[in-house]
A and B are shown apart, each in its own frame.
Chain A
Amino acid sequence: MAYDKFNTLTSTAVPLPIENVDTDQIIPARFLKATERVGFGDNLFRDWRYNQDNTLKEDFVLNQDKFSGKILVGGKNFGSGSSREHAAWSVYDYGFRCVVSSFFADIFRGNCLNIGVLPVQVSADFLQKIFDAVEADPSVELEISLPEQKIVLLSTGESESFDINGYKKNNMLNGFDDIDYLLNIKKDIETFAENTPL
């Protein structure tokens, strides 16, 4: 699916300093029953955001007015668990365009890249600096440059570089689509299929 281009993003951030945030917290299984990709943001972190009677849990970060922005900052091993792309859809649909963590679960990272949410992996030290800065002053902004593969904490000017493979980077910068790429090499695939043993 084609998606928004991503170049440079400057935004405040929402801090979630918890480790091993799993996909069942990001979007519980009972909200996976849709057959179209709509409305997932409403149920992002559903059971951390709402009580069982659907009233807000006031202390959860998404329910605190002082925190907002297009960048979600999570603790180590963000997105572990299920392969549900619905988790990445929820993050996107809520309004986030970038997730920052010191470590991502593999499938979640791939799903984000496939729908145009940029996963930015930073060192544990830098992650802590972001948490400290944002919690002390929620108006602090981060600048994320995909062309330069750089994240800057604008309040102090401290920065780190981050990894992304050249192919995916180019896709995100231009909004290119994987399936278009594959359809362009369809002949190679057909030849391969004819010679496959299984």
Chain B
Amino acid sequence: MSATKTLFDKVWDSHVVHKIQDGPDVLFIDRHMVHEVTSPVAFLGIKNRNIPVMHPEKTFATADHNTPTINQHLPIADPLSANQLRMLEENANEYGISYWGLGHAKNGIVHVVGPEYGITQPGATIVCGDSHTSTHGAFGAIAFGIGTSEVEMVLATQCIMQPKPKRMRINVNGKMSRGVTPKDVALFIISQLTTSGATGYFVEYAGEIFRDMSMEGRMTVCNLSIEMGARGGMIAPDEKTFEYIKDREFTPKGADWDKAMAYWETLYTDEDAIFDKELTFDGSLIEPMITYGTNPGMGMGISNDIPMANAVQGGATTYQKSLKYMDFNEGESMMGKSIDFVFLGSCTNGRIEDFRAFASIVKGRKKADNVTAWLVPGSHKVESAIKEEGILDILTEAGFELREPGCSACLAMNDDKVPAGKLAVSTSNRNFEGRQGPGSRTLLASPLVAAAAAVTGKVTDPRELMVELV
């Protein structure tokens, strides 16, 4: 047994309650986030067993997937969506769980509000019935998505059974070039690993590019870990992390803070710790990225041409089926393609930094007439910051409207659906067939690329629109 450990090992090993022989570990869960879609059957399960929620104080519920992004003060028109929200509220009340529902000042996307209120902390184990729970890894937490049976398991026992994943470290050195954002870094990594390249692994992101990123940027990167198959991704906490969480509602205060800090400062990978797989990239070579296919691994630098089928990993049949769905051809350029929708938002890019980036491009310009734009903040807190920082004025001036918080067009469970055949540039996380509405076509990109598309009406390199720095 080696004394040296990775960051991941330190957090995982310290949460193992019990090891099952020839089976999974029983892992204690510090924070359980709950939303309306993946929880009702789990609550029904504990109801049928006639057992309580073991730790309601470690459980946090918010409504986000189904919520409308306009007229949130009115009753929800869709009876099924309304029913899911009502069920969550009833369950939260019955079991003594705090519930930030529609209309609540703290409402927002579960992975946006968790960090905002300090629920997310370094060295914690965090689960939620949502694959983008990996977002919280930005704080040095082990955070991953779970299924509904596991939601029930955590409600009932505050534990989860999981085989320990393998460890992967992805090092990205260098600085981000002009026009490149954390989203591009993540899409680049996924394009290199493919959509299944990290399956079975838990990833640690290391290197200058991540150290230089804001917490918002780190969240974007960790959020997308699942898109290369990894259960989660994490970044060692540093001064930036501690500065971000200090004095938030749910973070420890006074002597408890000092005690927590003593633990948090041990959260780094020991120098000679071993990873099962290690990859290194030169970050200075990364361009603004865009996807052209139907999974997030099908991405490229925006100025490149769509690869030929014989040049990509995986079967040609699947690749060609994907391009056929997108109505694109091998070898063609994405630049200049006319687009119909722009979506700024989601747990990937619905934070204040993303709205600042979007505003930096649209400032002094006008929304293109052929574009419908949905700008959806990740939470009310983000919405307030947009207003306070004067970003709303810039957006309004340029012909954009700001909507109310929620998951929105990322998965189109509410009315924000891209119609069949229409092409959307989206800052969200999945370009699967029909993800943004039946028949919709999605190009994943950064807030800068989305902004450039929104004002030109076509796929445009944002660097062409960026103000030169003096």
Return the contact of A189 from the options B17, B129, B226 (Cβ within 8 A). B17
B398 at the interface (CB under 8 A from A): no
* Closest chain A residue, CB of each to CB of B125: A198
Cross-chain contact A189 with B157 (CB below 8 angstroms): yes
The answer on a CB contact under 8 Å between B434 and A24 is yes
- Residue numbers in A under 8 Å from B84 (CB-CB): 33, 35
A103 within 8 Å of B (CB atoms):
yes
Q: Which residue of B lies closest to A83 (CB)?
A: B145
Contact of A25 among B80, B121, B318, B432 (CB under 8 A): B432
Contact status B26-A182, CB under 8 Å: yes
Contact with A along B423-464 (1 / 0, CB 8 A): 000000010111100110000000000000000000000000
- Report chain B residues within 8 Å CB of A105: 196, 199, 229
Q: Residue of B at shortest CB range from A110? A: B147
Question: With A24-B435, A106-B231, A165-B23 in contact, do A33 and B413 touch (Cβ < 8 Å)?
Answer: yes
Q: Which of B33-41, B206-214, B233-241 is the contact stretch?
A: B33-41
Query: Most A CB atoms within 10 A — which of B22, B26, B147, B411?
Result: B147
Q: Are A24 and B196 within 8 A (Cβ)?
A: no
Q: B156 within 8 Å of A by Cβ?
A: yes
- Most chain A beta-carbon contacts within 10 A, residue among B41, B130, B263, B317: B41
Known A1-B149, A185-B18: A165·B163 in contact at CB below 8 Å: yes
Would you call A168 an interface residue if the criterion is a C-beta within 8 Å of the partner chain's C-beta atoms?
A: yes
Q: Does A135 contact B (CB under 8 A)?
A: no
A85, B148: Cβ atoms closer than 8 Å: yes
Contact assessment for A80 and B295 in the assembled complex, using a CB-CB cutoff below 8 Å: yes
Q: How far is the CA of A117 from the CA of B10 in the complex (A)?
A: 33
On whether A81 and B17 interact (CB within 8 A), knowing A189-B159, A197-B263, the answer reads no
Q: What chain A residues lie within 8 Å of B315 (beta carbons)?
A: 19, 75-76
| Number of chain B interface residues as a range | 35 or more
How many whole Å from A27's CB to the nearest CB in chain B?
11
Chain A residue nearest to B321 (CB atoms) is A18
* Closest chain B CB from A23 CB (angstroms): 8
C-alpha gap A163/B318 in the complex (Å):
27
Assembled-state Cα–Cα distance A20/B321 (Å): 12
Tell me whether B103 is interfacial, beta carbon within 8 Å: no
With a cutoff of 8 Å between Cβ atoms, the chain B residues found around residue A196 in the complex are: 28, 30
B23 touches A167 (CB 8 A): yes
- A105 CA to B435 CA, complexed, in Å: 18
* Contact assessment for B196 and A103 in the assembled complex, using a CB-CB cutoff below 8 Å: yes
Q: What residue in chain B is nearest A78 (Cβ atoms)? A: B196
In the assembled complex, the CB of B292 is this many whole angstroms from the nearest CB of chain A, namely 15
Bound together, the chains give a CA A80 to CA B296 distance in angstroms of 11
Q: A28-B434, A83-B146, A179-B49 are in contact. Are A197 and B259 (CB under 8 A)?
A: yes
Q: Which residues of A contact B54 (CB under 8 A)?
A: 189
In A110-127, the 8 Å CB interface with B consists of 110-111, 114-115
Partner of A188, one of B17, B51, B81, B87: B17
Q: Which of B37, B413, B433 contacts A47 (CB 8 A)?
A: B433
Contacts of A30 in B (CB 8 A): 412-413, 438
A-B contact pairs, 18 of them (CB 8 A): A20-B196, A20-B314, A33-B413, A34-B40, A47-B439, A77-B229, A81-B226, A81-B430, A83-B130, A84-B147, A85-B41, A114-B150, A178-B161, A179-B157, A181-B20, A182-B159, A183-B157, A192-B28
Query: Other CB < 8 Å A-B pairs besides A29-B413, A107-B131, A189-B159, 7 of them?
Result: A25-B433, A33-B84, A83-B145, A85-B147, A178-B149, A182-B161, A189-B157
Which B residues are closer than 8 A to A by beta carbons? 17-18, 20-24, 26, 28, 30-31, 37-38, 40-41, 44-45, 49, 51, 54-55, 65-66, 78, 80-81, 83-84, 87, 121, 123-124, 129-131, 133, 145-150, 152-153, 156-159, 161-163, 165, 195-196, 199-200, 226, 229, 231, 259-260, 263, 295, 314-315, 317-318, 321, 411-413, 420, 430, 432-435, 438-439
